[in-house]
Structure formats: structure tokens, C-alpha cells
């Protein structure tokens, strides 16, 4: 591999003919300089550590976050291809939401402390912290978007995702040669987010050494990259969220008391979704845009989703009790994006279990109801089958006319009819 031909390498771990780890090792025997980012759907801490030992600069799990990927590319000072730096998110991220009025009023009281402000977001306890991950990050993004720092970077850090040594390198950066796999210098998130905001999800999981360094950043407004002897000054607002009882962790000696009080300046409790249903349309719009981008469809010129729930579908969502909290709503919207055939999403796209929980049973076009544990593949096939049958009925079972109405070639429609075992009726039946 000629280092002069490539600015960076995005390398998948799972490939048809060989392992991405093998390719990574081979590249590094020829080229120690070109930044390499591993991307995989089979993410784990062990794989991340192995990739970094072999010389990868960083590691992302599918589906990755484009904003974070561009931040990392910028952090490595890559000689990026034309357009990469230009499109790195220096302004307000497209996914950022505007706060409802009651949240704006909370911001007006001023959540600030530390380098550029440290605020605590401490949601209600939940046995599965992943349920509210997006909910917490949405609120954090909204605080950032409605602050004087809105035109600077917002960087989210999942504090419990990486072991302490990788977390420290991610936050504070390192110099070339600071450790075995440090083939070039890398900026940390604090340096990249200077004048912006850093959001720590699950702040209670960070280790003692990182806690000490984080406290220094808050108090002194400076940090020292791994392998460096000179401190770097920064001005960063810190937002932190946790499902753990930090006060109890302090009592147990697992979290520094001085750091706790530095972070716990303004405490915002995030109630369960059933207690803040006015946020459902806002969250739905956010998830629509997120998954429309991921699927590459139903986006306007500015990269925002044009999908919307029909009034009757939205009414069901507003009346639902949401036992699965924000995560359940996210799954409902993701399903809607996958199954949508129009920009106006009807009620029959909602999960059958959700409809039945709210006393609604829809008449299905044909076939028996799906099992409660149906896979996404089965759900998609079932919905596609019903849509095709409906269009065929509207076209009086003219396959040519139905294909035109669905904007697909006749051959494609015929293949789907065969695959989905749709019984064709004669015209007029």
C-alpha cells in the first residue's frame, strides 16, 4: 500500500474473502502513517482493543454516527479527501432538536460550571440504561442547540463503552509514540470540542484515573494529552447523564466527591415517556430523520425526514403507556421508516402488539396475523405483500397497471408476487 495514494482507510471487520484484522495487519506492515478506522456490526471491547493493538486509529460499530466519524477524522488531522473537512459538523448538527418551551425556561436559569459549564442530567433509574440513551442525548443536544455554543461542536461520549486507557486517549488525545499502537498523534475530544459541548453518557462508569483528569479539566480548564508534557487550554461545557445513584457511589468510594459536586450544578430529572407525552411528536420527528438518513430515503434537501404519522396513528402513540420508554418509541419509528410507502405513515404500520395494547384490532388484507415475536424480515415481507395485494385490487388485478402505480418494473413486481406467494385473480373477480 502506497501511503501517498490514500488519505485514510475505512476498513470493515467482516469481509467476504478475509478478515479485516488480517487486512489491517498487512497494511500496517507496509504503511504506519495512513489513518485506519475499523467499522463492524460485530462490535465488542475485545475486538476494539485487538484492532488498536494492530494499529487501527479508531473503531466504530454499525450503524455508526456520521458526525462522530467526521469528528474522529478531524481529530487525526487526516489529509482528508475534498469535502471531508468542509462537511465536518462545525455548525449545529442536523439532528439537533429545538427544546420545547418548558425546557428553554430551564436553560434560562443557566446550567453552567467547570471549563465552559458543567450540568448534570440525571434521569430516573432504569434497569436497562440503553432504553433512554437517545432520550438523554436528545435533551443534551437541545441544551447545546439553545446555548451560545450552538455553532460549535457537540460531542457525545459513552463513558462505559471503552476501557479506561482507550477512554483517556479518546478524551485527551495522545502524541505519536505515546504507546505501541500510537503511530501518529491524535486530538482528544476535549481539544476537538473546544468552545463547544461534551456530553458524557453514564458518567458513573468512568474509572478513578479518568475522574482525576476530568476534575482537572473542570477546575483548571486544561489537560495534557498522553505522551505530552505540555498542557492544552480548553473552554468546553460539560453535560453528564447517569442512571446510577452518584451520591451512593460517592458514599461507596467509587466516585470522587469533589467531581460529583463539580458536575451536579443543575440537575434535570428526565421522567419516563408516559409522563411527558407532549415530547412524543418531537422525539418521533428526531427518530424519523435519524433512520431516514440511515436508510437513505424520505429526506428533504436539508437532510431532514419528510415522513409524518397520520393523525390517527399519532393519536395512538399519544395514548400509549410506553412501558419500553423512549427505546420503544425509537423502535416504532424505525419500523415505520422501513415499512413506509408514502410520506404519510398510516396506523397499520404501527406494531400489532402496540395496537392491541390500546384496544385496536385492524382488519388485515389477507393471511393470518404475524406472531408477536415475528422477525423484521417477516414483518417487512408481510407488509410488502399487503401493499402489493392492495394495489392489485385497485388496478382490478392488472399487474402492468399495479407496477406503474408502485413505480417498479413489471418484472420486479412479478418476482415479488412469486416470492410472496400472492395468488393472482382474474380481472373482475
Instruction: Say if 280 falls within a structural domain.
Output: no
pLDDT tens string, the chain, 429 residues long: the values are 554 567 888 888 877 778 888 888 888 888 887 888 888 765 555 676 677 777 887 777 666 667 667 776 766 655 444 433 333 333 333 333 333 333 333 333 333 334 445 554 443 333 334 334 567 887 888 888 889 998 888 888 888 777 777 888 889 988 888 877 777 788 888 998 899 999 998 899 999 989 999 999 999 999 999 888 889 999 999 999 988 889 999 999 999 999 999 998 888 877 889 998 998 998 999 899 988 988 888 999 888 999 999 999 999 999 999 998 888 999 899 889 888 888 999 888 898 889 888 888 765 555 556 666 677 777 887 888 888 888 888 888 888 888 888 888 888 888 888 878 788 876 555
* pLDDT recorded at residue 114: 41
Round to whole Å and give the CA distance between 269 and 238: 17
Alpha carbon distances (Å) from 6 to 19, 35, 59, 68, 247? 21, 9, 19, 21, 49
Residue 398 maps to which CATH number? 1.10.10.60
Q: Domain count for the chain, please give it.
A: 4
- Going by their DSSP bridges, the two strands 222-223 and 232-233 should be labelled as antiparallel
State the DSSP string of 357-414. HTT--PPPSSSPPPPTT--HHHHHHHHHHHHHHHHHHHTTT-HHHHHHHHTS-HHHHH
Q: Which of 65, 63, 5, 7 is nearest to 36 (CA)?
A: 7
* pLDDT recorded at residue 371: 66
Long-range CB contacts (< 8 A, 24+ apart) of 293-301?
293/66, 294/63, 295/337, 295/338, 297/337, 298/337, 298/340, 298/343
Q: In what order do the strands lie in the sheet with 9-12?
A: 9-12, 36-40, 58-61
Structural domain harbouring 306:
286-362
Round to whole Å and give the CA distance between 326 and 418: 38
* pLDDT recorded at residue 212: 93
| 225 and 295 housed in the same domain | no
* pLDDT recorded at residue 428: 55
| 124 and 262 housed in the same domain | yes
| 61 and 111 housed in the same domain | no
Contact 92, 21 (CB under 8 A): no
Residue 297 maps to which CATH number? 1.10.8.60
* pLDDT recorded at residue 178: 82
| 162 and 293 housed in the same domain | no
| 112 and 77 housed in the same domain | no
| 373 and 227 housed in the same domain | no
| 30 and 125 housed in the same domain | no
Final residue before a domain boundary, out of 88, 103, 131? 88
Residue 110 maps to which CATH number? 3.40.50.300
| 213 and 122 housed in the same domain | yes
* pLDDT recorded at residue 222: 94
Round to whole Å and give the CA distance between 89 and 230: 28
Find residue 119's DSSP bridge partners: 239
Contact 139, 258 (CB under 8 A): no
| 86 contacts: CB under 8 Å, gap ≥ 6 | none
pTM value is 0.55
| 116 and 199 housed in the same domain | yes
Quick one: three-class SS letters along 201-212?
ECHHHCCHHHHH
Instruction: Say if 275 falls within a structural domain.
Output: no
Final residue before a domain boundary, out of 54, 88, 122? 88
Q: Calculate ∠ Cα 295-296-302, nearest 5°.
A: 130
Instruction: Say if 278 falls within a structural domain.
Output: no
Round to whole Å and give the CA distance between 195 and 198: 10
Instruction: Say if 34 falls within a structural domain.
Output: yes
Final residue before a domain boundary, out of 340, 362, 384? 362
Instruction: Say if 262 falls within a structural domain.
Output: yes
Amino acid at each position: 500500500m502506497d501511503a501517498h495514494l490514500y488519505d485514510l482507510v475505512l476498513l470493515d471487520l467482516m469481509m467476504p474473502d478475509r478478515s479485516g484484522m488480517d487486512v489491517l495487519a498487512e497494511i500496517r506492515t507496509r504503511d504506519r502513517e495512513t489513518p485506519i478506522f475499523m467499522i463492524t456490526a460485530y462490535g465488542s471491547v475485545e475486538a476494539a482493543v485487538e484492532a488498536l493493538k494492530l494499529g487501527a486509529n479508531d473503531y466504530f460499530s454499525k450503524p455508526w454516527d456520521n458526525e462522530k466519524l467526521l469528528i474522529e477524522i478531524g481529530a487525526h488531522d487526516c489529509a482528508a479527501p475534498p469535502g471531508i473537512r468542509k462537511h465536518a459538523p462545525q455548525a449545529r448538527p442536523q439532528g439537533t432538536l429545538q427544546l420545547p418551551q418548558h425546557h428553554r425556561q430551564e436553560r434560562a436559569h443557566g446550567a453552567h460550571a467547570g471549563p465552559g459549564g458543567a450540568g448534570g442530567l440525571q434521569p430516573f433509574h432504569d434497569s436497562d440504561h440503553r432504553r433512554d440513551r437517545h432520550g438523554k442525548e436528545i435533551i443534551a443536544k437541545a441544551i447545546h442547540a439553545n446555548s451560545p455554543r450552538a455553532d460549535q461542536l457537540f460531542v457525545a461520549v459513552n463513558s462505559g463503552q471503552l476501557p479506561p486507557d482507550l477512554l483517556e486517549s479518546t478524551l485527551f488525545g495522545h502524541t505519536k509514540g505515546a504507546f505501541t499502537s500510537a503511530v501518529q498523534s491524535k486530538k482528544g475530544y476535549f481539544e476537538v470540542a473546544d468552545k463547544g459541548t461534551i456530553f458524557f453518557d453514564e458518567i458513573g462508569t468512568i474509572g478513578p484515573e479518568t475522574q482525576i483528569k476530568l476534575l482537572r479539566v473542570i477546575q483548571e480548564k486544561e489537560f495534557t494529552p498522553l505522551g505530552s508534557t505540555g498542557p492544552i487550554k480548553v473552554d468546553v461545557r460539560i453535560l453528564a447523564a447517569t442512571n446510577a445513584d452518584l451520591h451512593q457511589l460517592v458514599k461507596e468510594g467509587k466516585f470522587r466527591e469533589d467531581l460529583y459536586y463539580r458536575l451536579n450544578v443543575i440537575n434535570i430529572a428526565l421522567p419516563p415517556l408516559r409522563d411527558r407525552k407532549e415530547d412524543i411528536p418531537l422525539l418521533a420527528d428526531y427518530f424519523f430523520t435519524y433512520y431516514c438518513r440511515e436508510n437513505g430515503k424520505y429526506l428533504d434537501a436539508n437532510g431532514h425526514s419528510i415522513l409524518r404519522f397520520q393523525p390517527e396513528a399519532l393519536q395512538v402513540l399519544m395514548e400509549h403507556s410506553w412501558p419500553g420508554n423512549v427505546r420503544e418509541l425509537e423502535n416504532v419509528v424505525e419500523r415505520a421508516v422501513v415499512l413506509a410507502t408514502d410520506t404519510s405513515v398510516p396506523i397499520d404500520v404501527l406494531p400489532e402488539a402496540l395496537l392491541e395494547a390500546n384496544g385496536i384490532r385492524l382488519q388485515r388484507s389477507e393471511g393470518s396475523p404475524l406472531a408477536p415475536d415475528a422477525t423484521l424480515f417477516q414483518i417487512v415481507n408481510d407488509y410488502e405483500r399487503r401493499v402489493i395485494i392492495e394495489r392489485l385490487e385497485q388496478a382490478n388485478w392488472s399487474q402492468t397497471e399495479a407496477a406503474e402505480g408502485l413505480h417498479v418494473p413489471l418484472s420486479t413486481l412479478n418476482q415479488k408476487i412469486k416470492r410472496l406467494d400472492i395468488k393472482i385473480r382474474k380481472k373482475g373477480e
